[in-house]
Amino acid sequence: MPGIAGGKAKAKKVAEDGRNLYSQCMDTSLKRLEEALSIRRQIGTLEKRLASILESSVSNRPTPSVRRGMSAATRAKLSAAAKARWAERKRTGVGAATRKKGGLTPAGRKRLSQLMKARWAARKRAAS
């Protein structure tokens, strides 16, 4: 049975070739990973150098005084205008609580009542 022994040898060779191929892929992959790690370290070193350069240039520059908000004169003008508005509202007596929005007058309520009664009567006549 020389054919069977030859088949086993071929299978063994194919398996070894597969392992070698796998090993080669792993070596290539490992090399690429090491290269990527090396590049990452170089990037980290360069970022640190850049940060130190920028910090030194920023610390050497005088900080500009930034004025935020409003000047005292502007605040005084706004305050005076608000006080004038409130004084005017107080004088005229028109406030949100005193104003009445909408609502029916007694005459309007009576008119609506009569219209509804007429509608109901018309529906009652149409239904019968």
Separation between Cα atoms, residue 10 and residue 37, nearest integer Å: 40
**Greatest mean pLDDT range, 1-15, 25-39, 58-72, 90-104:** 25-39
What kind and span of H or E run contains 77?
helix 72-92
Range of weakest confidence among 2-6, 34-38, 66-70, 86-90: 2-6
* pLDDT reading at 1 higher than 60: no
Q: What is the pTM of this model?
A: 0.29
Q: What is the pLDDT of residue 14?
A: 60
Residue 2 has pLDDT above 60, yes or no: no
Based on its alpha-carbon atoms, the radius of gyration of the chain, rounded to whole angstroms, reads 46
Mean pLDDT across 64-76: 82
Half-sphere exposure of 44 (CA within 13 A, CB side): 6
Q: Which residues fall within 8 angstroms of residue 31, CB to CB, at 6 or more apart? A: none
Express each pLDDT in 75-104 by its tens digit: 999 999 999 999 988 888 766 566 666 788
Amino acid at 118: A
